[in-house]
Structure 1
Amino acid sequence: MSTMSERVDKRDGKLAMAHLYVAFIALFLGGLCGLLQVLVRSGKFTLPAGIGYYQVLTTHGVLLGLVLTTFFIIGFLIAGMSKTAGTFTEGRRKTGWIGFWLMTVGTAITATFILLNQASVLYTFYAPLKAHPGFYIGLALVVVGSWISGFAMFAHYRAWKKQNRGQVGPLFSFMAVVTMLLWLVATLGVAATVLVQFIPWSLGLVDKIDVLVSRTLFWYFGHPLVYFWLLPAYMAWYVVIPKVIGGKIFSDALARLSFILFLLFSIPVGFHHQLVEPGVDPNWKFIQVVLTFMVVIPSLLTAFSMFATFEQYGRSKGATGLFGWMRVLPWSDARFFAPFVGMLIFIPAGAGGIVNASNQLDQVVHNTIWITGHFHLTVATTVLLTFFGVGYWLIPHLTGRVLTKEMNRLAIIQTCIWAVGMFFMSAAMHIEGLLGAPRRSSFSTYGNSAQAAEWIPYQIAQAVGGTILFIGIIIAIIIFLDLAFFAPKGETEFPIGEVAEAAERTPMVFENWKLWIGITIALILFAYTIPFIDIIQNAPPGSKGYKLW
Structure 2
Amino acid sequence: MMLKNYNFPKKDARLYMSFMYVTFASLLVGGLMGLLQTLSRSGEFQLPFGINYYTILTVHGVILGLVLTTFFIVGFQFALMGKTVGLSDKQRKWAWIAFWTMLVGTIMAAVTILIGEANVLYTFYAPLRAHPAFYIGLALVIVGSWIAVFTNFRQLYVWKKANPGQKSPLLAFMVVINMAMWFIASLGVAISVLVLFIPWSLGYAATINVLLSRTLFWYFGHPLVYFWLLPAYMAWYAIIPKIIGGKLFSDSLARMAFILLLLFSIPVGFHHQLTEPGIDPTWKFIQVVLTFMVVIPSLMTAFSIFATFETTGRRLGHKGLFGWFKNLPWGDVRFFAPFVGMVAFIPGGAGGIVNASHQMNSLIHNTIWVTGHFHLTIATTVILTYFGIAYWLVPHLTGRRLTPRLNKLGIIQTIIWTVGMTIMSTSMHIQGLLGGPRRSDFSNYAGGEQVQTWISYQLAQAVGGTILFIGILLMIYIFIQLAFFAPKGVQEFPIAEEEVDAEPTPKILENWYLWIGITIALILFAYTIPMIDIIKHSPPGSLPFDWPIGRS
The TM-score by the shorter chain falls in which range?
Answer: over 0.9
TM-superposed CA distance for 1:9, in Å, is 3.0
- Tell me if the contact between 1:258 and 1:302 (Cα under 8 Å) persists in the aligned partners: yes
1:406 paired to 2:405: yes
Q: Return closer, same or farther for 1:446/1:522 CA change in 2, 3 Å cut-off.
A: farther
Match of residue 59 from structure 1: 59
Tell me, yes or no, if structure 1 residue 433 matches structure 2 residue 446.
no
User: 1:164 matched to which residue of 2?
Assistant: 163
Secondary structure (helix, strand or coil) at the match of 1:539 reads coil
Matched residue, 1:250: 249
Deviation, structure 1 residue 2: 6.2
Contact kept? 1:208, 1:546, Cα under 8 Å: no
Paired residues for 1:416-427 under 5 Å: 416-427=415-426
1:395-439 Cα offsets, whole Å, 9 max, x none, are 000000001111000000000000000000000000000000001
Change (3 A) 1:126 1:447: farther
In structure 2, relative to structure 1, the CA distance for the partners of 1:120 and 1:2 (3 Å cut) is closer
- TM-score by structure 1 length? 0.98
Shift of 1:547: 1.8
What letter is aligned with 2:59? T
Q: Tell me the alpha carbon deviations over residues 3-38 of structure 1, each in whole angstroms, 9 at most, x when there is no partner.
A: 434322322211110000001000000000000000
Q: Which residue of 1 aligns with 2:190?
A: 191
CA 1:502–1:101 in 2, change beyond 3 Å: closer, same or farther? same
CA RMSD, Structure 1 to Structure 2 (Å): 1.3
* Contact map agreement 1:137 1:199 (CA 8 A) in 2: yes
Deviation digits for residues 111-162 of structure 1 (CA, Å, limit 9, x no counterpart):
0000000000011000110000000000100010011011111100000011
1:84-123 counterparts in 2 under 5 A? 84-86=84-86, 88-123=87-122
Residue in 1 aligned with 2:38?
38
1:489 and 1:2 map into 2 onto residues whose CA distance is 26
Structure 1: unaligned runs, 5 residues or longer? none
Secondary structure, counterpart of 2:546 in structure 1:
coil
Contact 1:223-1:266 within 8 A present in 2 as well? yes
Q: Which residue of 2 aligns with 1:305?
A: 304
CA distance, structure 2, for counterparts of residue 14 and residue 272 of structure 1: 41
Is the CA contact (8 Å cut-off) linking 1:209 and 1:546 kept in structure 2?
no
Determine if the alignment matches structure 1 residue 219 to structure 2 residue 218. yes
Paired position in structure 1 for 2:232 = 233
Counterpart check, 1:75 vs 2:75: yes
Q: Hey, what's the Cα distance between the residues in 1 that align with 2:504 and 2:78?
A: 27
1: CA distance, partners of 2:169 / 2:261: 19
Tell me the equivalent position of 2:537: 538
Task: Note the 1:361-510 alignment, pairs <5 A.
Answer: 361-444=360-443, 447-510=446-509
Q: How far did residue 321 of structure 1 move?
A: 3.2
What per-residue deviation string (whole Å, max 9, x for no partner) do you get for residues 464-504 of structure 1? 00000000000000000000000000111100001123432
Deviation digits for residues 87-122 of structure 1 (CA, Å, limit 9, x no counterpart): x11111000000000000000000000000000001
Aligned ranges 1:306-325 → 2 under 5 Å: 306-325=305-324
Aligned to 1:275: 274
Describe the SS at the equivalent of 2:49: coil
Whether contact under 8 Å (1:106, 1:140) holds in the other structure is: yes
1:323 Cα deviation (Å)?
Answer: 2.1
SS in 2 for 1:300: helix
Q: CA deviation at 1:453?
A: 1.1
Q: CA deviation at 1:548?
A: 5.3
Tell me, yes or no, if the aligned pair for 2:42 and 2:443 is still in contact at 8 Å. Answer: no
Q: CA deviation at 1:384?
A: 0.3
> Cα offset for 1:253?
0.5
Residue identity opposite 2:51 in structure 1: I
2:333 aligns to what?
A: 334
Alignment of 1:13-24 (within 5 A): 13-24=13-24
Q: For 2:454, give the aligned amino acid.
A: W
Distance 2:2 2:259 in 1: 24
Residue 529 of structure 1 deviates from its aligned partner by 0.5
Instruction: Answer yes or no: is the 8 Å Cα contact 1:207–1:546 preserved in 2.
Output: no
Query: Partner of 2:48: helix, strand, or coil?
Result: coil
Contact 1:418/1:468 (8 A) holds in 2: yes
Give yes or no for contact 1:197–1:548 (8 Å, CA) kept in 2: no
C-alpha distance in 1 between matches for 2:378 and 2:8: 27
Q: CA deviation at 1:444?
A: 4.4
Aligned equivalents of 2:506, 2:10: Cα separation in 1: 34
Query: Does the aligned pair in 2 maintain the 1:12–1:78 contact within 8 Å?
Result: no
Structure 2 match to 1:135: 134
Mean alpha-carbon deviation: is it higher for 483-492 or for 536-545?
A: 536-545
